[in-house]
Homo-oligomer: A and B are copies of this chain.
């Protein structure tokens, strides 16, 4: 196989539409095309590694391999790089329509983003936050609500149980815990309904599952939740702002991380190139996409399993892998930015953090890059997403604004701008933040989770043992997959 250097061949070998056809054809069909087809077999582009999906994970894997001297083609179905990180804009300021936060322990994201010249801003924690759940409404400062004694005792007991069990999970193999089968057979809803002390605390923990995993707690098992907590250090880490996973945002937006990596990869990146088929043989792998055909030694599939299963594999994937993907759907989230002239909540003494019942049930403040302008970010998650994802942006805007008014009064009635992103409606992602394996999936098919299938390696945050579902996990998985491949090239 001829290995071309990464940057030398695109201008001359990027296939025309006609060449693409040649690449996708069998030799018999090439003959049918007549003499003009004869040269086309040369138009299959050869690289060391094809990476599929230009999200943070795919970009990082491609960058690592490229820096190590391997030639790479990074194929992205969408017309932009970034995956579940995406630029939006409100009131003239760039915002993250997808992942936005950084928290302590996310060391690779820290390193990579600093290398790209990005800086961070603290998530505002000055003022009072609001919780209004299960008939109990109160305001509090700092991270831990000042709960009534009985509620606090139940809260601490629930936290201790979850933290203890989560700490026992091996994040590389959550199915290996002695109680894995038990925990994978019970939904989070059932476990929480039956094991937490009060109605409010039960509602609070189910709310936390919804907020963190963006999935209805009935749709995942206790094992998946424990794994997710363990993978992201702890339950308290995941739900905390200061000291936790929501501590800081990136000035200008976290979406810049994959965007800048993709820009640096230059001609190796092929946008609007959805992959249709991955064919392996004894010598290598042929990746056929709309827009071209690539031949490589190895391929890294850096899209979530729910999307990876929509690629056609030849030979077919093992049953274990296929069934794992069938049972590993995406979470569901809609992220809504509502921009205001003034941060009226600050003037009222609030942080902007609100946790309450409704279809847009979590608010955070967004300082719009310290521009002096402000927005509230509202999240819809789980079941609510399916009620809103297929409606218009205007309908969602009207609803979200009405909910802000319900919480803060008429001060919130007149936003100056709005934007949102319904990830479940995004045809190349079909959900977010990440993969949430269904009950019984880990213990039956977990082994196939991120194990390579011959020349196919799996990346994406969804495959990461650490910070699964987070951008840190995406980068870590990209690093791990790149290493797997590099060791075999």
Contacts and interface: CB of A to CB of B under 8 A. Distances in A.
A422 B313 CA distance: 18
Given A28-B17, A276-B276, A218 B322 contact: no
Nearest to A425: B319
Contact of A323 (B322, B323, B332): B332
For the complex, would chain A's binding face be called helix, strand, loop or mixed by DSSP majority? mixed
Interface stretch (A6-14, A66-74, A235-243, A381-389): A381-389
Give the oligomeric copy count. 2
Given A319-B389, A332-B323, A390-B320, A444 B309 contact: no
A190 interface: yes
Contact of A330 (B326, B425, B427, B439): B326
A50 to B, nearest CB: 19
A219 B310 CA distance: 22
A444 B386 contact: yes
A441 interface: yes
A179 interface: no
Contacts of A318: 389-390, 425
Given A190-B187, A219-B439, A319 B386 contact: yes
A323 B116 CA distance: 35
Nearest to A318: B390
Contacts of A427: 313, 316
Contacts of A424: 319, 322-323
Contacts of A422: 319
A455 B489 CA distance: 48
A431 B326 contact: yes
A445 interface: yes
B439 A319 contact: no
B190 A319 contact: no
Contacts of A25: 17, 21
Interface in A207-264: 216-219, 221
Nearest to A223: B218
A276 B424 CA distance: 21
Interface in A338-386: 382-383, 385-386
B389 A444 contact: no
A76 to B, nearest CB: 16
A18 interface: yes
Interface in A395-448: 422, 424-425, 427, 430-431, 438-441, 443-445
Contact of A219 (B21, B425, B444): B444
B323 A326 contact: no
A173 interface: no
A99 B200 CA distance: 49
A29 B443 CA distance: 48
Interface string A292-319: 0000000000000010011011001011
A219 B223 CA distance: 13
Contacts of A332: 319, 323
B385 A216 contact: no
Contacts of A439: 187, 218-219, 438-439
Contacts of A181: 218
A4 interface: no
29 contacts: A17-B25, A17-B29, A21-B21, A185-B189, A185-B190, A186-B218, A187-B190, A187-B221, A187-B440, A216-B440, A218-B443, A219-B440, A219-B441, A219-B444, A274-B312, A306-B326, A309-B310, A316-B427, A318-B390, A319-B425, A320-B386, A320-B390, A322-B424, A322-B430, A326-B430, A326-B431, A327-B329, A383-B444, A386-B444
What are the 5 tightest A-B residue pairs by CB atom distance, in nearest-first order? A319-B389, A326-B329, A185-B218, A219-B440, A316-B427
Given A219-B440, A323-B330, 10 more contacts: A17-B25, A185-B187, A185-B190, A320-B389, A323-B430, A326-B329, A326-B330, A327-B329, A383-B443, A438-B439
